[in-house]
Structure 1
Amino acid sequence: MAKPDAVFIYIGTYPTEAAARADYDVVKDLRAAGAVGTYDAAVVTKDDGGKVHVNKDETATRHGAWGGAAVGAVVGILFPPAVIGAAVVGAAVGGAGGHLWRGMSRADVKELGEIIDDGEAALVVVGESTLTRALDKAALKAEKHVAKELDVNPKDVDKAVREAAGDVS
């Protein structure tokens, strides 16, 4: 059972970027329907050379409270900077990443980082624990997936993102 004040990470893998984008659209529809609270999501691809690319729908990012920082923080934790193909996000990764890192065991990091094979795409969703039930009901089409609930309060991640953005209200 999901804790009400926890951060949830979902990573599902797909044979193509288009398949991952289809489930990304499902997640956006869940938000539009009010089925999920604060979240951040992106399609991540790993090319045949092992380089990781984060692909965000910028319109969706502007509407998300975490504005790309949560997925960027997860990608930054899971993959060394040498394999990340593009700038993920700005300064918010540091603060949000620190909170998420403390909520993960080394085994979690290893399991999450190894799920994406070269040449595959993944949907990465990070958000409040309300995502757990919503994603289960949505029946996403991932070939394989890993879902983890972290012992991290979403309010702490939100605060780190606001501070990094210069909004300390």
Structure 2
Amino acid sequence: MTKADAVFTYVGTYPSEDAAQADYDVVKDLHALGAVGSYDAAVVTKDDTGKVYVNKDETATRHGAWGGAAVGAFVGLLFPPAIIGAAAVGAAVGGVSGHLWRGMSRADVKEFGEIIDDGQAALVIVGESTLAQAVDKAGLKAEKHVEKELDVSSKDVDEAVQETAAEIG
């Protein structure tokens, strides 16, 4: 049972970046239809050297989402900064990651990190609890997925995102 103010996280793995991008587009459409509240989503890939890349459609992040900070902070919790290939992720980790970290157990972090390692690409979504039902109904096509409701307030995450946005300009 989802709490009204909780943060929902979803990581699904895909055989290709294109397949993950297709489901990312579904999530953007759900937001455009008003089916979900604030959220942040990105396609995450790893290259042959193990470097992690967070690929976002910047147009989507300008339309009322959490502006990249939530997924950046989430990915920053799962992987050491040295293997993350996007400088923006580091800037976003700050206060947002602190809120997300308090809502996750070490086992959660391990489970999310391992599932990303299993696929060629992953879709990572962090959002308000309203996203949980919408994602279930949308029938995303991930080969495997892990979804969790974090014991953290979406309002606290939203405030941290706004503070981060103000700090980085």
Q: Please, what TM-score do these two structures have when normalized by structure 2?
A: 0.94
User: Which letter does structure 2 place at the counterpart of 1:3?
Assistant: K
Decide whether the 8 Å contact of 2:76 with 2:89 is kept in 1.
no
Which residue pairs with 1:23 in the alignment? 23
Partner of 1:34: 34
- Note the 1:102-113 alignment, pairs <5 A: 102-113=102-113
Q: For 2:118 and 2:139, how far apart are their aligned partners in 1? A: 25
How far off its partner does 1:48 sit?
A: 2.4
SS at match of 2:145: strand
For 1:65, give the aligned amino acid: A
CA distance in structure 1 between the aligned counterparts of 2:59 and 2:97, rounded to whole angstroms = 23
Structure 2: how far apart are the matches of 1:65 and 1:92?
14
The code of the aligned residue for 1:26 comes to V
Once the two structures are superposed, residues 93-147 of structure 1 have per-residue CA deviations (whole angstroms, 9 ceiling, x without a partner) of: 2111100011100000000011122761000000000011000000000000000
> Which residue of structure 1 lines up, in the alignment, with residue 44 of structure 2?
44
Query: Mean Cα displacement is larger for which, 58-67 or 145-154?
Result: 58-67
- Tell me how far 1:163 sits from its aligned partner: 1.6
Instruction: Tell me how far apart the structure 2 counterparts of residues 161 and 118 of structure 1 sit (CA, whole Å).
Output: 29
Structure 1: distance between partners of 2:118 and 2:102: 27
Aligned length: 167
C-alpha separation between the residues in 1 aligned to 2:55 and 2:90? 15
**Which residue matches 1:70?**
70
2:116 counterpart SS class:
coil
Report SS of the residue matched to 1:166.
helix
- Per-residue CA deviation, residues 51-101 of structure 1 (Å, 9 max, x unaligned), is 100000000011133100000000000000111112133644211110001
Q: Distance in 2 between matches of 1:83 and 1:22?
A: 25
2:3 alignment partner in structure 1: 3
Q: Which runs of 4+ in 1 moved over 4 A?
A: none
AA at the equivalent of 2:89: V
Deviation at 1:47, TM superposition (A): 1.7
Q: Identity of aligned pairs, percent?
A: 80
Residue 164 of structure 2 corresponds to which residue in structure 1? 164
Residues 13 and 118 in structure 2, CA contact (< 8 A), matched pair in contact too: no
Structure 1 residues 92, 52: closer, same or farther in 2, change over 3 A? closer
Asked whether the 8 Å contact 1:10–1:124 carries over to 2, the reply is yes
Unaligned runs of 5+ in 1: none
CA contact (8 A) 1:48 1:118 kept: no
Amino acid at match of 1:86: A
Checking the alignment, whether the CA contact within 8 Å between 2:14 and 2:119 is kept in structure 1 is no
- 1:106/1:136 Cα in 2 relative to 1: closer, same or farther (>3 Å)? same
> Could you say which structure has the higher helix fraction?
2
Partners of 2:79 and 2:144 in 1: how far apart? 19
